[in-house]
């Protein structure tokens, strides 16, 4: 009888516990220091802007590559001595978790595109064990990458020093859904517990699509 009562109580608790869902995030929900002035007051319909960059294999990568995919984006540079090695290590944890899942991809943007050429990215990818069909390391036009960070991913603070498109490096990982929308929140890519939370949220997002089918 005790076991039966416990089972009933557990069932009630499960039924009454709201299912976790990920919000579709808008610019006005972010720290305004991370958001370009042109986007601060946007309250709906925010999506990642179209882009055209080049990956570690010299292949052109556009936003269409990520159509109907869930992906995690970040910003790095190959000779970064500080947080980048930790971020890259944590990206490899995501790669390992989802390496056999074609629904989930990774995208890392160089913030020093002039130095991070295709050959440099290729060497870095080989050193870090990047799986090419899972994870793109991209370089390209500095302004385009800067605008993606500030106007699309809402991931980096404006750099007041070093020129108009100089970017302060950011530790943020961003979760993007199949429609190109920001989901969940910003995740600190230097912290293992944040990566665990991101992995959990990716599974929640995957499940939400499964229920729509």
Mean pLDDT of the chain: 89
Question: pLDDT-based confidence at 14, cuts 50/70/90?
Answer: very low
User: What is the residue extent of each domain of the chain?
Assistant: 25-212
| 5 carries a ligand binding annotation | no
**DSSP states along 75-124:** EE-TT--SSHHHHHHHHHHHHHHTTT-TTEEEEEEES-TTTS-HHHHHHH
Q: How far is the CA of 134 from the CAs of 11, 71, 137, 154, in angstroms?
A: 39, 10, 10, 23
pLDDT value, residue 15? 40
| 84 carries a ligand binding annotation | yes
Is residue 7 predicted with pLDDT exceeding 70? no
> How confident is the model over 130-165, as pLDDT tens digits?
999 999 999 999 999 999 999 999 998 887 656 667
Is residue 166 predicted with pLDDT exceeding 80? no
Cα–Cα distance between 184 and 202 in angstroms, integer?
Answer: 9
> How confident is the model over 18-36, as pLDDT tens digits?
467 899 999 999 989 889 9
Sign of CA dihedral 97, 98, 104, 107: positive
CATH of domain 25-212: 3.40.30.10
Residues 69, 105 contacting (CB under 8 angstroms)? yes
pLDDT value, residue 17? 37
Residues 73, 116 contacting (CB under 8 angstroms)? no
């Amino acid at each position: 009888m005790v076991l039966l009562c416990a089972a009933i109580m557990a069932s009630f608790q499960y039924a009454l516990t709201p299912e976790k869902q990920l919000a579709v995030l808008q610019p006005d929900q972010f720290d305004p220091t991370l958001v370009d002035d042109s986007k601060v007051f946007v309250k709906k319909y925010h999506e990642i802007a179209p882009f055209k960059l080049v990956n570690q294999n010299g292949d052109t990568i556009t936003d269409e590559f990520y159509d109907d995919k869930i992906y995690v984006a970040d910003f790095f540079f190959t000779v970064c001595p500080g947080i980048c090695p930790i971020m890259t290590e944590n990206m490899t944890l995501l790669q390992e978790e989802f390496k056999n899942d074609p629904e989930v991809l990774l995208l890392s943007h160089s913030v020093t595109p002039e130095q991070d050429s295709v050959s440099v990215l290729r060497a870095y990818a080989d050193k870090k064990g990047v799986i090419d069909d899972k994870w793109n390391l991209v370089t390209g036009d500095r302004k385009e990458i800067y605008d993606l960070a500030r106007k699309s991913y809402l991931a980096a603070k404006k750099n007041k020093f070093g020129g108009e498109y100089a970017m302060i490096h950011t530790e943020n990982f961003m979760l993007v859904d199949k429609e190109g929308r920001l989901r969940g929140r910003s995740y600190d890519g230097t912290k293992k517990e944040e990566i665990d939370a991101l992995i959990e949220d990716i599974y929640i997002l995957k499940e939400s699509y499964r229920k729509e089918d």
